[in-house]
Every structure is written in C-alpha cells, then in structure tokens.
Structure 1
C-alpha cells in the first residue's frame, strides 16, 4: 500500500519526539509544525515500523467525530 492510496485527509508531517512503550500498547509523540500529535498504537507496530525518536513520519488522523469548544 502506498501513501497515495490511503483515504485520510488529515495528515501531519513531523518527527517522533518520544515513544513510551508498554507491553501491548505504546504512545508515540510526533512533533509537527502545529504542535504535538500523540498516537496510541500496538507495541508490535512500533517494532515492525522501526519507529524511533528523531525519525520523520506522517501522522494520519481519521475520526468519526471532532468536538470543538469556544475559548
């Protein structure tokens, strides 16, 4: 599968800042020009994708609901 074939409109290019690995799930913090995006993915995926701090990645965000609050 190529990146062009993924149907996700919200894409954030960034660099992995930190990975907090757990036995099953891991948190991956990605620094983007708009701020930090955090993803919770399987630890197996972290290893298979060879994710490490400093690596450039694209965070794809797909949601069925987006909430907005006033400031």
Structure 2
C-alpha cells in the first residue's frame, strides 16, 4: 500500500511540473519610451516560419497579428 502511494505522488509531481513548465510563452523585453519595438514570433527554435508579430510605435500605439509563441526575436529602433 505504501509503495502505491509513493508512486502516485511521484507521478502527480511529474505531471504538475510539466504543466507549470509549459504554462506561458517567453515574453519580449519591454519597449522603452522613445523607441519603436518589433517582436517577431516563430514556430520553432530555428526560427523557420514567422507565425506572428507585434510593432510598438514611437507615439505609444501598437499593432499585432498572428500567433504568439515562445520563439521570439525582439528588435528596437530609436525614434
């Protein structure tokens, strides 16, 4: 009986750890005032295909499209 409880507890910890590890995509750095920032989202770590993007404009507005993933490239340009 005790062995089964330990096995179930270990399995629960492994599943919980997997869920927490995959909970949120990576976040791009915050865009600083006076800069225009472009975040590009890719479908894999090799940056094979662009699947989404976000532009934060100098005056404060932003525009985004597509899918956000954990595979990003973040560029910034001074206004």
- In our comparison, the structure showing a higher alpha carbon Rg is 2
Normalised to the residue count of structure 2, the TM-score between the two structures is 0.27
Bigger strand share: 1
Pick the structure with more helix per residue: 2
